[in-house]
């Protein structure tokens, strides 16, 4: 059923944002190398959980940038893409509401939002990191590799480990929107995490078409 795909995307994105955000709070923020690695593992393993739970139904996008790339590659219709985008933003918001319910503090949710100290660095980092992440997804899923879930999860871990100090490593508009909305932190930095990952997705699709995977 079509509704199952959208519900699956909502739940998968909820798992990604909810567990990833809990990881940020458990680590007390990205205060040092150990915390950065811990947060990276939190998001990577949360993505794996979502993939294994509902990936067989939805394709496990959980990210508007991934959906945009799939749409450009004609793996998804426009109507499904719109449904996925709505579900992803809703799922990220629900995941953040769960954090709010668990902590009872809006400030705790706001603490899980991404941020940057230098705008240009953050824009470049989000574009480059999203490009690598989405390019990997397009390639390994096209090949149908058995290791695709693990490869995608590990790349997300790597993206966070190298990217957190520069941009907070969102690479996912929904992942940034949900905590920002629930945490009451819809400030001027949010727009970077909306458009920069989408630019990265377009670049990733172009690179994927330039270097198509082969068996």
| pLDDT tens digits, one per residue of 166-211 | 999 999 999 999 999 999 988 878 999 999 999 999 999 999 999 9
H or E element at residue 112: none
Does residue 45 have a pLDDT over 60?
A: yes
Residue 34 lies in a domain: yes
Number of domains in the chain: 1
Q: Is the model more confident about 181 or about 215?
A: 181
The per-residue pLDDT for 215 is 57
Give the domain CATH number at 96.
1.20.1080.10
Terminal-to-terminal C-alpha distance of the chain = 31
Q: Is the model more confident about 6 or about 3?
A: 6
Q: For the chain, how many helices (H) and strands (E)?
A: 9, 0
The per-residue pLDDT for 169 is 96
| pLDDT tens digits, one per residue of 101-150 | 999 999 999 999 998 989 999 999 999 999 999 999 999 998 877 899 99
Rounded to the nearest angstrom, the gap between the alpha carbon of residue 79 and the centroid of all alpha carbons in its chain is 21
Q: CA 70 to CA 30: how far, in whole Å?
A: 32
User: pTM surpassing 0.85?
Assistant: yes
Six-digit token string for 200: 């990265």
Range of the domain at 122: 2-210
Six-digit token string for 184: 């009451």
Residue 104 lies in a domain: yes
Six-digit token string for 113: 């939002």
Q: Cβ–Cβ contacts within 10 Å for residue 49, how many?
A: 16
Confidence at 214, pLDDT banded by 50, 70, 90: confident
Q: Is the model more confident about 32 or about 73?
A: 73
Residue 215 lies in a domain: no
The per-residue pLDDT for 1 is 62
């Amino acid at each position: 059923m079509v509704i199952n795909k959208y519900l699956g995307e909502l739940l998968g994105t909820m798992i990604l944002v909810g567990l990833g955000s809990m990881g940020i709070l458990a680590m007390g923020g990205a205060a040092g190398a150990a915390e950065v690695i811990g947060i990276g593992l939190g998001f990577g393993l949360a993505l794996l959980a979502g993939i294994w739970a509902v990936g067989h139904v939805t394709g496990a996008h959980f990210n508007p940038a991934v959906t945009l790339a799939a749409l450009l590659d004609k793996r998804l219709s426009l109507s499904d893409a719109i449904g996925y985008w709505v579900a992803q933003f809703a799922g990220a918001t629900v995941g953040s509401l769960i954090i709010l319910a668990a902590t009872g503090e809006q400030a705790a949710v706001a603490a899980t939002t991404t941020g940057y100290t230098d705008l240009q660095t953050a824009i470049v980092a989000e574009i480059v990191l999203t490009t690598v992440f989405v390019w990997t997804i397009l390639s390994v899923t096209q090949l149908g590799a058995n290791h695709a879930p693990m490869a995608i999860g590990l790349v997300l871990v790597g993206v966070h480990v190298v990217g957190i100090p520069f941009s907070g490593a969102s690479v996912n508009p929904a992942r940034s929107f949900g905590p920002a909305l629930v945490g009451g932190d819809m400030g001027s930095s949010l727009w970077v995490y909306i458009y920069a990952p989408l630019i990265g997705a377009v670049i990733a699709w172009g690179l994927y078409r330039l270097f198509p995977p082969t068996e």
